[in-house]
Amino acid sequence: MIRSDLTICAPASGSGGAISVIRVSGKDAFEIVSKVFFPSDNTVNILTISGFRVVYGEIRSGDEVIDEVLVSIFRSPHSYTGENSAEISCHASPYIVKSILELLIKNGASAARPGEFTQRAFLNGQLDLSQAEAVADVISSSSGVAHKIAMNQLRGGFSGEISNLRAELLNFASLIELELDFGEEDVEFADRGDLKAIIVRVKNLTDRLSESFSLGNALKNGIPVVIVGKPNSGKSTLLNVLLQDDKAIVSDIPGTTRDTIEDTIVIDGIEYRFIDTAGLRETTDVIESLGIRKTFEKIAQASVILLVDEITDSPDQINGRIKAIREKIDGTDKKLIILINKSDTSDYNLQGELSKRINREAGEELLFISAKEKAGLDGLRSILSESIAVSGSSLENVMVTNARHYEALCKVSVSLGRVLNGLEENITEELIATDIRQAIHYLGEITGEITSDEILGNIFRNFCIGK
Ligand SMILES: Nc1nc2c(ncn2[C@@H]2O[C@H](COP(=O)(O)OP(=O)(O)OP(=O)(O)O)[C@@H](O)[C@H]2O)c(=O)[nH]1
Ligand SMILES: [Mg+2]
């Protein structure tokens, strides 16, 4: 619901620290603040003062001084929301913050709803929809890379790409609609081959963007790395040393881990979600077999699979397990890393012998480690970083991290596929125009624009038909 007639207020800073910021925004922001805030320089009037000024003074409730504060003034449209806004920096006492908010509300402000400042920024055209969504991503990003992607989206990189696609389609639509206007006369304003080339190009770009979602989403939420292997091979020990935390129970009893355990850690600016699983073996234990079923699900969801074997396993056993995992991940871009654990219990010669007899395919890595002695882990971390960096060269490009955008892009692609078929099969302009409008509509859904008027606007602006 839009409540643009209300002036809203809310704490804008988190708990802790020495200072809290309270944000007030809306047409009556300055009037309301002026009723409770008294500048120490009484020649200053916040009703008339220019924007981007900071005023020192007291917040008072009747005769009682609640706090000494700084009030920052932002005049419409030069504020985050685009409205008149004030930010009150007070001491970070929960009591003070609560008292000031109560005072503001008593004097006519309303408590802001979640996201309402950003919603107003969008409604007032300060941000488009995908940028507004990026605000939440920037705040919640927990790694350097996630932050970089969110900042790119906030600064309009993604919106720019979507706008370019839309502009191309709007041009195309204009031509088709023009032909529709001349319906009876059977004119073709645009060469069908040229039109097809535009759609192919836009569809390729759309598909490239939607393909970036699986990595983009993983980078935002943590790259899922699943740790699998036979019981007792040291999977939970490995999880614990990677997380530097005793998260999982470790014991010498095979079948210790029966459910999946996961947690995240940032390595070289990228967040990984490590998932420890129940060891894979034939079992009649109901709970354990449920855990094993879950292990397969986790393999399906993971980007990277760490297969943990023991140095005392025979090459045949290890090759058998590699083959079983490979069958599960065949045809995907999942990365398989084979870890031979408990290397501390063997000598170097055995490692050399073993590595010769393990059948690896291109892209699969083999590493000898000792989870218990924390040996070989730097090697593992750098393989992880490199494997993401390879596909992560796309980091330089715009990346889709938001499921809503991904869904919309998939719909765009389907509509464009229909346009291509339509062009090929020479179907009527009406039907082609419908599919194009749909594709434009879905792109507009991403940035939050309204489309049909725009198509018309574009026709008249570009072609000056004047009717
Ligand atoms: N010598 C040696 N022992 C290890 C190493 N890693 C793990 N262990 C031991 O192997 C046993 C099993 O370790 P876990 O981490 O519980 O193995 P797991 O793969 O999680 O076992 P399940 O959950 O039962 O499938 C424990 O006694 C560990 O101390 C290692 O690198 N070297
Ligand atoms: Mg375990």
Identify the CA nearest to 447 among candidates 55, 134, 5.
134
The reply to whether 159 falls in a domain is yes
Whose atoms come closest to the Cα of 228: which ligand? 1
pLDDT of 457 above 60:
no
Name which residue leads in pLDDT, 251 or 89.
Answer: 89
- The whole domain housing 382 covers 222-396
Q: How many CA atoms lie within 13 A of 341 on its CB side?
A: 24
Enter the tokens of residue 34. Answer: 């002026």
pLDDT of 400 above 60:
yes
Whose atoms come closest to the Cα of 251: which ligand? 1
**pLDDT for the residue 85:** 97
First to last CA, the chain: 37
Same domain, 55 and 176: no
Instruction: Please name the residue that has the structure tokens 């059977």.
Output: 186
Select from 236, 237, 241, 283 the residue to mutate for testing ligand 1; criterion: most ligand atoms less than 8 Å from CB: 237
- Indicate the burial class of 353 (C-beta count within 10 angstroms; 0-12, 13-18, 19 or more): exposed
pLDDT for 48-77, tens place per residue? 999 999 999 999 999 999 999 999 999 999
CATH number at residue 440: 1.20.120.430
The model carries a pTM of 0.76
**Is residue 295 within 6 Å of ligand 1 at its C-beta?**
no
Same domain, 198 and 235: no
pLDDT for 92-111, tens place per residue? 999 999 999 999 999 999 99
Q: Are 27 and 6 in contact (CB under 8 A)?
A: no
Q: Report the share of the chain in percent with pLDDT over 90.
A: 48
pLDDT of 17 above 70:
yes
Q: Identify any residues that bridge with 227 across adjacent strands, giving them in sequence order.
A: 276, 306
Same domain, 409 and 389: no
Rounded distance from Cα 278 to ligand 1 centre (Å): 12
Whose atoms come closest to the Cα of 238: which ligand? 1
d(CA 390, CA 6): 50
The reply to whether 133 falls in a domain is no
d(CA 341, CA 351): 11
Q: Are 89 and 97 in contact (CB under 8 A)?
A: no
Residue type, 371: A
d(CA 253, CA 37): 67
User: Domain boundary at 368, 396, 424, which?
Assistant: 396
Task: Name the pLDDT band for 45 (thresholds 50, 70, 90).
Answer: very high
Identify the CA nearest to 223 among candidates 265, 195, 251.
265
Q: Are 209 and 398 in contact (CB under 8 A)?
A: yes
The reply to whether 192 falls in a domain is yes
Question: How many Cβ atoms are within 10 Å of 185's Cβ, its own excluded?
Answer: 7
**Is residue 359 within 6 Å of ligand 1 at its C-beta?**
no
User: Domain boundary at 365, 380, 396, which?
Assistant: 396
Atom of ligand 1 nearest to the CA of 375: 31
φ/ψ of 312, rounded to 5, equals -85, -5
- Helix 403-424 to helix 429-447 angle (10° resolution) is 170
From atom 21 of ligand 1, which residue's Cα is the shortest distance away?
232
pLDDT for 328-350, tens place per residue? 898 888 999 999 999 999 877 78
Whose atoms come closest to the Cα of 377: which ligand? 1
Rounded distance from Cα 283 to ligand 2 centre (Å): 15
Residue type, 422: G
Q: Number of helices and strands (H, E) in the chain?
A: 15, 13
CATH number at residue 330: 3.40.50.300
Q: Report the share of the chain in percent with pLDDT over 70.
A: 92
The reply to whether 16 falls in a domain is yes
Enter the tokens of residue 125. Answer: 């055209």
Same domain, 76 and 181: no
Same domain, 73 and 122: yes
Same domain, 287 and 364: yes
Rounded distance from Cα 234 to ligand 1 centre (Å): 3
Low-confidence winner among 40-44, 131-135, 404-408 (lowest mean pLDDT): 131-135
Same domain, 208 and 228: no
The reply to whether 135 falls in a domain is no
Rounded distance from Cα 332 to ligand 1 centre (Å): 30
**Is residue 250 within 6 Å of ligand 1 at its C-beta?**
yes
**Is residue 240 within 6 Å of ligand 1 at its C-beta?**
no
**Is residue 251 within 6 Å of ligand 1 at its C-beta?**
yes
The reply to whether 2 falls in a domain is no
Task: Name the pLDDT band for 19 (thresholds 50, 70, 90).
Answer: very high
Select from 226, 227, 232, 307 the residue to mutate for testing ligand 1; criterion: most ligand atoms less than 8 Å from CB: 232
Atom of ligand 1 nearest to the CA of 345: 1
CATH number at residue 64: 3.30.1360.120
The reply to whether 266 falls in a domain is yes
Q: Identify any residues that bridge with 274 across adjacent strands, giving them in sequence order.
A: 225, 263
**pLDDT for the residue 404:** 83
Whose atoms come closest to the Cα of 279: which ligand? 1
Enter the tokens of residue 434. Answer: 């419908």
**pLDDT for the residue 191:** 76
Same domain, 233 and 346: yes
Rounded distance from Cα 239 to ligand 2 centre (Å): 9
Same domain, 33 and 77: yes
3 state DSSP class of 223? strand
The whole-angstrom distance between residue 59's C-alpha and the CA centroid of its chain comes to 40
Task: Name the pLDDT band for 1 (thresholds 50, 70, 90).
Answer: very low
Same domain, 419 and 337: no
Identify the CA nearest to 191 among candidates 180, 202, 179, 201.
179
Task: Name the pLDDT band for 462 (thresholds 50, 70, 90).
Answer: very low
Count of structural domains within the chain = 3
Identify the CA nearest to 183 among candidates 422, 419, 428, 425.
428
Same domain, 113 and 258: no
From atom 23 of ligand 1, which residue's Cα is the shortest distance away?
257
The reply to whether 1 falls in a domain is no
**Is residue 371 within 6 Å of ligand 1 at its C-beta?**
yes
Instruction: Please name the residue that has the structure tokens 């980091």.
Output: 395
**Is residue 23 within 6 Å of ligand 1 at its C-beta?**
no
CA dihedral 410, 141, 365, 232 (to 10 degrees): -110
3 state DSSP class of 225? strand
DSSP 28-80: THHHHHHHHEEESSTT--TTTSPSSEEEEEEEEETTEEEEEEEEEEE-TTSSS
User: Domain boundary at 378, 396, 414, which?
Assistant: 396
From atom 16 of ligand 1, which residue's Cα is the shortest distance away?
250
pLDDT for 144-203, tens place per residue? 888 888 888 888 888 888 988 999 898 888 888 887 777 666 666 667 788 888 899 999
**Is residue 230 within 6 Å of ligand 1 at its C-beta?**
no
Q: Across all residues in the chain, what is the average pLDDT?
A: 86
Same domain, 390 and 246: yes
**pLDDT for the residue 280:** 82
